[in-house]
């Protein structure tokens, strides 16, 4: 089983950790159990230069590896974990995210698009063209007055380069977003729509929600962390049966072949745009409640921030999802499970110590959450084993996120 987190960021993007360096990302990916990660922000000139200095092309896979492999000292320096080992050596794929803000069909549109390139030469060539539309050095995720269709056309003109629409349901910046999106992919990408092959579901939706729309049936659904810090790597990820190379990775997504297994998912209810509401007013509503109130907040009487569930139901042409071809597993971050068990904060010293002890015994965080047999876990910690069994069986309590505020998933409450 190979895990790939194909949408992340560097410290050059807004609201990201200043600790995000190449080795920081690699260290956290190793601890999480991520074999392949996006570089994030490959359109930013300073970050691209840093990537060139730190990475070397792997002729066997078509991805990039660290010039100097990770050491135990890296894991301690970047993650504050004394493991006595390096769990794995992650590889990188050149990846960026572009914010397209433009007017189309009389409405301002705002959507984010993921782009992937096979090598530095291709990325530099693309960046030179992209720089004609705006300042790439201003943000790791550049905000450009560029139609998404035109961006897609630019990507298609580069050899072995790909575009995937990012977090397609997020209210503010996505292709289907309630605030600035479209009602169909065709309205956004027009005649280039047949060239699309995959869509990123985002933290606030999962495959069954997306399978309520028959128009999405032909697309592979991928999930990524969109991490703004190393700690958030792998909260969503893609699973492959074996380690792909650059071309077979995208061939697997395009052809929906058996190399692609499925995804690791955030519980969508935990996503900060799942339900409707107003964070400032303390209001969180279901789509039905929102409709009953004509979309207005019962406290301030202003329009609610309509969430992902509402928007999915608004565009859906099914009442029940068709069976998902891809497999998926919803997970709770290990530190959050430990925090609930111990009754302390997930960032406390006690939880960090427990986390470290577990990673000295087991291969990685995601292996613990997904694959380590329950009876094996029970030999180390019976309460943790019970909690993870409940999670794997989806026996959890869900408090929905809304209007930019994350929800809460509990096991024993």
> How sure is the predictor about 333, in pLDDT bands with cuts at 50, 70 and 90?
very high
CATH number attached to the domain at 2-269:
3.20.20.140
pLDDT for position 258? 86
pTM: 0.96
Q: Is the pLDDT of residue 393 over 80?
A: yes
- Rounded CA-CA distance 245/182 in Å is 34
Q: What percent of the chain has pLDDT over 70?
A: 100
- The whole-angstrom separation of Cα 173 and Cα 14 is 15
Average pLDDT over residues 323-327: 81
Closest-CA residue to 39 (of 52, 22, 27): 22
Residue ranges of domains in the chain? 2-269, 334-395
pLDDT attached to residue 326: 80
Q: What is the mean pLDDT of residues 322-350?
A: 93
For the segment 190-209, the average pLDDT, to the nearest whole number, is 97
What pLDDT sits at residue 237? 98
pLDDT bin (cut points 50, 70, 90) of residue 255 is confident
Averaged confidence pLDDT in the chain: 96
Confidence of residue 323 (pLDDT cuts 50, 70, 90): confident
19-59 pLDDT per residue, tens: 999 999 999 999 999 999 999 999 999 999 999 999 999 99
**pLDDT digits 0-9 by tens, 92-105:** 999 999 999 999 99
Asked if the model's pLDDT at residue 213 lies above 80, the reply is: yes
Q: Of 114, 352, 320, whose CA–CA distance to 231 is shortest?
A: 352
């Amino acid at each position: 089983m190979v895990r790939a987190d194909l949408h992340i960021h560097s410290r050059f993007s807004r609201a990201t950790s200043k600790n995000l360096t190449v080795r920081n990302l690699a260290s956290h990916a190793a601890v999480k159990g991520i074999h392949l990660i996006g570089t994030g922000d490959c359109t930013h000139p300073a970050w691209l230069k840093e990537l060139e200095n730190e990475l070397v092309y792997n002729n066997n896979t078509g991805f990039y590896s660290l010039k100097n492999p990770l050491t135990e000292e890296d894991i301690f320096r970047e993650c504050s974990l004394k493991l006595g080992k390096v769990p794995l050596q992650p590889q990188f794929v050149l990846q960026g995210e572009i914010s397209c803000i433009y007017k189309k069909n009389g409405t301002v549109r705002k959507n984010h698009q993921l782009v992937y390139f096979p090598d530095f030469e291709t990325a530099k060539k693309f960046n030179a063209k992209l720089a004609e539309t705006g300042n790439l050095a201003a943000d790791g995720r550049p905000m450009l007055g560029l139609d998404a269709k035109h961006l897609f056309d630019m990507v298609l003109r580069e050899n072995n380069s790909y575009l995937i629409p990012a977090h397609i349901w997020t209210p503010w910046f996505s292709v289907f977003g309630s605030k600035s999106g479209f009602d169909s992919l065709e309205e956004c990408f027009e005649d280039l729509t047949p060239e699309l092959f995959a869509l990123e579901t985002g933290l606030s939706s999962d495959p069954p929600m997306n399978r309520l729309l028959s128009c999405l049936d032909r697309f592979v659904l991928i999930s990524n962390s969109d991490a703004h810090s190393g700690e958030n790597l792998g909260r969503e990820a893609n699973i492959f049966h074996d380690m792909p190379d650059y071309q077979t990775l995208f061939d697997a997504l395009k052809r929906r072949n058996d190399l692609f297994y499925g995804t690791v998912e955030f519980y969508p209810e935990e996503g900060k745009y799942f339900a409707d509401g107003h964070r400032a007013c303390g209001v969180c509503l279901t789509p039905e409640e929102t409709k009953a109130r004509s979309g207005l907040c019962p406290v301030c009487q202003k329009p609610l921030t309509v969430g992902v569930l509402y928007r999915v139901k608004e565009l859906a042409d099914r009442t029940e999802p068709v069976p998902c071809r891809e497999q998926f597993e919803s997970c709770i971050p290990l530190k959050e499970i430990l925090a609930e068990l111990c009754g302390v904060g997930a960032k406390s010293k006690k939880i960090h110590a427990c986390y470290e002890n577990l990673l000295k015994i087991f291969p990685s965080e995601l292996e613990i959450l997904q694959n380590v047999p329950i009876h094996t876990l029970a030999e180390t910690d019976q309460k943790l084993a019970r909690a993870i069994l409940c999670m794997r069986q989806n026996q959890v309590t869900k408090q929905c996120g809304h209007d930019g505020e994350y929800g809460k998933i509990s096991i024993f409450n």
